Structure 1
C-alpha cells in the first residue's frame, strides 16, 4: 500500500509574515530579517508596516546631537544601529544651502529623524528685534537622505497684534497618527504682557499661522516675573512642559491639539525649587513626574514626584514616590540633565576639577552620557564624551535599512 503523500507546505502570506515581523523583539532583529531576502525587505520597508512596528516599539535612542552626532557606543544595544546611521547620514548639514548670514547651521530641535536648523548672525545684536527675532534663517532637514526645506520668515502681519512679544522656544511638532509621515510642523512660541502665542509653520501649506493665543487670565495665572521661566522645556509624548517662575506651576503645550494649559503642584516643605528647576519625565502611561537633583534636596540624590490623577483629571497634589540613587556623583564630577523621554532621564557626567595630586588616576571616572530609568533606577552608559554639551538633542531612529525619507 502506497504511503500517503506529505501535506503541502503552508504558504506564508504577506499578512502572516507581517504578524511574525511585528513580534520580533528589537529593531536590530527586524533589520536582520529585512536583509534576508527581497520579499522580506519589501514587506518590512513598507510604510504601513513600519508605522505599525513603531507604534509597538518606539525607535531606539541612537545618540545625541549638539554641533555633531555622538553615536551610542558598545556595549549599548543601539551601538550597531548608531554606527550604521553615522556612516550613512550627513550631520554636518553640508547639503543645506548657506543662510543669509553665511554662518554655520546649528541644530535647534530633533524629532522623528528630522533636524530643525537655525542660522543667525555672529553678533546677536544684528537681529531686527532682540526680543523676538524674526529674521532667523530656519530649515528642516533629513540628514540620512540629505533632504531639506527652507522656511520663510514669520509674516509681519501675524505678529502685528502683539506689541511686546518675547520669544522663548522653537521646536518641531510630532507628526500625528492621521497625518502624512513626510509632513512636518515647526512651532515657535512667544509671550507678552497679555498672554501666549504659538506660531506654526506647516509643510503642507508652506505658511505660518497662529495656532493658539490664550491670555494669562484665561489660563488662570499671571505673567511670569522673568523670561528665564521659559529658558528650558521638556518634551514628552506630544507635549512640552515648562516650569514657570513661581516654580509651583507647569505650563503645558499639547502640540497635537495646539492647546496651552497650566498644571498647579505643591511640593513637600523640605524641597526648595527656587534653587533648581525640576526635570520633567513622562512615562509610557502619560503620567508626568518631577525630578530634582540631590544637592538641592534633603536626604536623597533625586526625589521623584508623580501627579495624582482624580477621575482622569490632573490634580494639584504631588506626592513623594521614591528616591532615585545616582551613583555617578563624586566630588570631582557633576551630572547634567540632557533630556527626558519614555520614562528615562538622560544625563551627562562631566569632570568639574582637573586631575589633582590626591587622585592621580582617572580610571575610576566613567565620564559620558547615561540613561536612568526613573522607575527601576537602572543606569546604562550610552557613549563617552570629552566635552560637556551646551545643549544636546536626543536622536531616536531606525537603521538606514528600515528608514524612509522623512521629508
Structure 2
C-alpha cells in the first residue's frame, strides 16, 4: 500500500492553488508532475558540474559524462535492454519515431507495406506517412472497434510477405486502451516485419521488458515518467540500429571527418549528434530511480482503484458517455450530451481541476466516434479518490451551468 500523503509531499506543485482552489491535476497523460528528488538532480547539475560531455579532460566534463552514462545504464536496466548502447537518448518519443522513420526511408522501396494501428497519436502516424511518400510504400491501418480495442481478428488479413514494418502504441493516449503488443509483435515477426511500439503512455504505469517482448524498437518520453521535458529514449535491437543510417550529422556522431570522407561513430553516438540535453538525461535517470522506489506494482494498484472509482462515479452523471471501454489504464475520455468538451474543461479549470480537452493528437479516433473531441481525465499514482470526488462534483456543476 502506498502512503499517498507521503507520496504527494514529494511533489511541490501539488500544494499550489489555481483560481483560489487547491490544484487537482488530472492531465497526467499530457505530462506528469516532477518529484523534488528529480528537481534536486536538475539543480545539482547546474549548480555543481555543468559541462559538456565526452572528450573533455577536465573534472567537470568527466563528472557530467559519468552521470550521463550512468543514467543511460539506469534506463537500460529499467527496460531490460541487452546493451546500454541500444539506448539512444533523444528529445522525446516524437524524435525517437522520426529517427526510425528517417532511417527506413532510405531502405524501403515502392510496393513495400507498413501497418499502423487506428489508435495512434499523430506522432506515430505522420512520420510514417512522410516515409511512405518518399519511398512509395503503402500504409495500411489496423481498425478499432466501438470499445476502443484493436480489431485483432483483421490483423492477419493485413499482414503479407510485403509487410516490412508495424507500428502500434502500447497504451492509447486518447482512450487508455492497453494494446496486445505481445501478440502484435509475435504475428508481425512471422512475416519478417519489424515492430515499433510507442510506449509514451505505457511507461508511467507499467514496466516493459524489451527482451521479453522481443520488440524491435521501443520509444518513450521522460516527462510522462516524473522526469523533465525534452528528453526521451529510443531502444532498438543492436543489429537494426547498426543497419539504419544516421538521422542527422554533426559533432559526436562521427569517428573521423575529412573533406573527402566522414566515417560514423558506433552506437549509441551514431544517433546522438550535437550537444545533448545533458541535464535532462541525468534527470531521466533520477526519475526512473524515483518511480522504481515507489514500485510499479504499487503504482498499478493505486491507479486501477482510481480508474474504477472514477468510472463508476462519472457514469452516475446523466448524459455522460465514456469513450474507450476496453481493457485500459488511467484514462477516462468522456463527453456530456449537447455540451462541447472545451466548455466543460474551461469551467473545470476555474474550479482548480486540470484536464485536457480536444482530439488529443488522435484525430482519427475522434473521427471514428464522430465527435469533435473529449474531456480527458488522466490519473497518476499521486492522485486520490478525494480528487475524483472533486472532479465529479465539478462536472455536475459544469453540466448545470451549460445545459
Q: Does the alignment reach a TM-score above 0.5?
A: no
More strand by share: 1
**Greater helix share, 1 or 2?**
2
Provide the TM-score with structure 1 as the length reference: 0.28
Higher RCO, 1 or 2 (CA under 8 Å, sep at least 6)? 2
TM-score of the two chains, using structure 2 as the length reference? 0.28
